[in-house]
Each structure stands twice: as structure tokens, then as C-alpha cells.
Amino acid sequence: MVFNSYTFVAFFAIMLLLHNLPISWRAKKINLLIASYLFYAAWNPPFILLLWLSTVVDFFVGRALYTQPNIHKRRLLLVISLIGNLGMLCFFKYGGFILENFVHLTNLLGIDFHPAKPSIILPAGISFYTFTTLCYTIDMYKKKSEPVKSMLDFALFVTFFPHLVAGPIVRPPQLVPQFETPRKATKQQLLDGLMLLTLGLFMKVVCADTLLSATADTVFGAGRPMGPLDAWAGVLAFSGQIFFDFAGYSISAIGVALCLGFILPQNFLCPYGAVGFSDFWRRWHITLSLWLRDYLYIPLGGNRKGKFRTYINLMITMLIGGLWHGANWTFVAWGGLHGLYLWIEKAIRDSRSKVSNVPSEDVPKPFIATASFGPPLIGKKSASFVYALLTFILVCITWVFFRSTTFSGAGLLLASMAGRLAPAGPPLLLTMDIIKVFVVIGIMLIVHWSMRNTTFLKTVVKMPWWAVSVVWAGMLILIILSQGTSKAFIYFQF
């Protein structure tokens, strides 16, 4: 079931009705849990067993990790949890990828090995709920918080349908306490939630699917040299498509939860208004960035073991972050490019700190998703805007690897963007399609820059009621008119 469907509209209306009935809080939580399983079962009902297994195992292992005094037994329990969760993730998401690369390796060694290709179906959202349960068991091992007392609350924490399939990635302290006491949306929360849901669907259905996806699909699927204008239009279209698609889902999820009285963490904050790449990762997929920081980068040593280890830890984190997105080496290259950008940015900051004799402990931390990166590399506002544009262009280059399925396809498109190849045939795109992309992306960049220090709801509060009504009505009308062109959310495959 997807947010951009009439089935979900009916499902959500029923959930709002049930959640506001005069029944016990426990009954409402059971309703939410059943609804969450039904929401997930709409993709493939048997995979509910995986979700249920992960929930049950981590609930009891997490409790044992917190109460077990023997350090060796605690480590064993943690290993069991890691093997269980990461084992399922590796089998379903990376099983075919691992086998394919093993076959290539054996063939290079002169061994003729050609096994049958496995037919593995990827469970929807397995990357997201795996990270959700992993952070619980790791926190229990480190005793950062107390174990969840109720199996019902823990199961609801894992499966709560707004965030289940594509995030935001939540942690127990962010959501479990909200299940412990009765929750019901206030009138303002309901209005804000419906407004966010409308905005998220507008971003997905109208902006991503109707205005940009066709151009991106045409360019990335061409498989031949093209003119620089066509190539750049396709890449810019995808840069907008993936933002509107993924941020649209996150905003919809936050809005749906808010309508029920629950608060989910922010996942995007105008990322294309970022001044630099550390700033970009503070704004893009925030909950994943924080997860990678707290459960991978810092355990690797962070920036506590010297500059060389800091660079290595940073690159490892970005490479794994790239692989998390998909079982393909192009995703690893995407993460590696971002790691390289962060390396260069850190080197510039370090060199400037030496020139200005700033003590090393006062230098902004080099990793992603922190709120204290210090001032941008360029101080003046106009210069910062130019640097933000440069950041956006370089991020767009990384999207080439993210969207391409092969390195040859990525190389062909990059060469076309640079004008190094003669177009093989007539232009791919119509003039109006190119104009449409540049207008949409231009407006997006202006909005991101102007709203980089605020949020949508804070902006709405400052608007007159009639203006809000016109904008809201306009979005609803465009969503309805564009519904036939809508597709599944991109991040469902991750």
C-alpha cells in the first residue's frame, strides 16, 4: 500500500475514525499494530513473518542485553542480534550481489563456475526496519536507555506504518514513550498533519512523477551519446525527482503520524540549499546520517584517533552508506564520491585552521549530520550562495552513479554532460521538456535557499489564512489531476 493511492485514503480514514473512538488506549494500540501489519501485507503477506521474527527476537535479546551482568554473555547476545538482523538483510538484499561477484572472482581465477541465478524477492523496507531494530539492541548493550517494557509497544515501535517502509528511521526514545500514554491529535496537529500529507503527495505525484520522472527516464535509459543540454536536463530532472520522491514520502509519513497524535523526526531540511557537503548531509536523509554517525562512524573511532584515521573512518562510513542504498557497485561509487567531497572539504578547513592558528579542538567536526560544522568556507552571503550552487552541481554528478545501473552507462552520461561525445542521433528531449526541467529545478533551488533556516509549517504560520487556503486547494487539485501518472516511491527498493 502506498500513500499516493485511493486505497490508502480509505485505509487512513478508517484509522482516523478508530483512533478517535472512546475506547481504551491499549485497544487503540492494537488497532494501530493490526493496521500496520495490513499496510505491510499489501506488498507481500508472507514477509510479515520476517518482520514479526525480527521484532520478537530483538525484544527478548534487548532485554537480556540490558540485564545480563556477564560481559561475555552480553557480547554473545549482541552477536546473535547482529547476525539475525544483518543476516536477513544480507540474504534478501545482497545475496544475488554477493553470488554474482563471487562468480566473477572465480572466473578470473580460471575456475569455470556458473551457478543458477537465485530468485530472491526483496522485502519492502527491510533496510529501514533492520536499522530500527539494530539501534535498539545496540543501545541495550551500551545501556543508553532502559528496555521497552511492553511487547505491544515494541512491536508498534518497529511496525508503525507511517515510518515502516521508507523511514524516517526512528529510535526507541523518539517513539516508544509516545506509545506509553494515550495520544490523540489536537485540532492544530490534525490540520498540520493533513497539510504535510498534502505537501508530501504534491511533491511525489506532481513534482517527481508528473514533471520530472519522464525526462530522467529518457536520458538515463538512452544508452547512447547525447548533447550536453539533454544530458544535464536528465541529471537535473533526476536530482529533483529523487528529492521530491523521498522527501515527499518522509513529509507524508510525518503528516500521517501527526494526524494520529505522534511526532516523527525531521528527515529533510532543504538539502539543495546546503553550503558544503557536510551541510548537505546535515540536511539530506537526516535520520540515516545520524544513524551512520552514532552506530558506525563513532564506533570506528570517529575523529578521536588522529587525522589519518578520521579520513579512513569517514570514507568507510560513506562507502557503507552507499552500499546500504542498493546491491550495486555504482551505489558504492556514489558513497565514495561523497566521501571524497567530505575529504576535500575537511582538508580545506584544516589548512585554514592552521593559517589562522585555531586550536585543533576548535575546528568544526568533519563528519556528517552534526549541527556544529562551524561557519561556511565562504563568509559573505552572496559567495555562500555561489558555493551552494557549486555544492548542488557536484551532488548532481554523484546522482549519475546513483541512478545508473552500470559504470559504462554512468561514464557515457558524464562524457555527454562534459560535451566530449558527439550526439548519436537527434536530440532526445523536446525544447519544452528542457525548459520545464530548468524551471522546476530553478524554483526548487530558490525555495531551498530561502527556507534553509526554517520549516514549511513555520512558514505557513506566517501566511494569511486565505493564502494558505489557496495554496492547499491548488495542491489538492493538481494531485487529483496528476494521479494517473503516479508511481511507487523510489526508496521502496532500498
Same domain, 154 and 206: no
Residues 225 and 167: beta-carbon distance below 8 Å: no
Last residue of a domain, one of 151, 183, 215: 183
Cα–Cα distance measured from residue 432 to residue 279, given in angstroms and rounded to the nearest whole number: 34
The tens digit of pLDDT for each residue in 43-102 reads 778 888 888 888 998 999 999 999 888 888 889 999 988 888 888 888 888 888 788 887
Q: Are residues 350 and 460 in the same domain?
A: yes
Is there a domain that residue 10 lies in?
A: no
Identify whether 296 is part of a domain. yes
Q: What pLDDT shows up at residue 363?
A: 35
Count of structural domains within the chain: 2
Would the pLDDT of 6 be above 90? no
Residues 120 and 255 in one domain: no
110 and 233 co-located in one domain:
no
Q: Tell me which residues are annotated as active site.
A: 325
Is 8 inside any structural domain?
no
Domain assignment present for 13: no
Joined grid coordinates for residue 92: 534478501
Inform me whether the pLDDT recorded for 249 exceeds 70.
yes
9 in any annotated domain? no
Residue 327 lies in a domain: yes
Domain limit, last residue, from 127, 155, 183: 183
Q: What is the pLDDT of residues 431-460, one digit of tens each?
A: 999 999 999 999 999 999 999 888 888 888
Same domain, 354 and 234: yes
Q: Are residues 255 and 146 located together in one domain of the fold?
A: no
Max CA separation in the chain (angstroms) = 72
The answer to whether residues 163 and 137 belong to one domain is yes
* 325-332 contact pairs (CB < 8 A, 24+): 325/402, 325/494, 326/493, 326/494, 327/93, 327/94, 327/96, 327/97, 328/97, 328/405, 329/407, 330/401, 330/402, 330/404, 330/405, 330/406, 330/407, 330/410, 331/401, 331/402
Count CB atoms within 10 A of the CB of residue 320: 15
Tell me which of 127, 158, 183 is where a domain ends.
183
Query: How much is the pTM?
Result: 0.89
Do 211 and 308 lie in one domain? The reply is: yes
Same structural domain, 109 and 178: yes
pLDDT digits (tens, 9 = 90+) for 192-233: 999 999 999 999 999 999 999 999 999 999 988 999 999 999
Residues 64 and 207 in one domain: no
Question: Are residues 126 and 235 both part of a single domain?
Answer: no
Domain of residue 83 covers: 21-183
pLDDT tens digits, 154-185: 999 999 999 988 879 999 999 999 999 998 99
Cα-based torsion angle of the residue sequence 173, 177, 179, 182 in order, rounded to the nearest 10 degrees: -150
Q: 265 with 165, same domain?
A: no
> Where are the alpha helices (H) located in 326-464, listed in sequence order?
329-355, 381-403, 407-417, 431-450, 456-461
**Is residue 231 domain-resident?**
yes
Percent of the chain with pLDDT over 70: 92
**159 lies in some domain:** yes
Letter string b/e over residues 86-109, b meaning 16 or more CB atoms within 10 A of that residue's CB: eebbeebbbebeeeeeeeeeeeee
Indicate whether 380 pLDDT > 60: yes
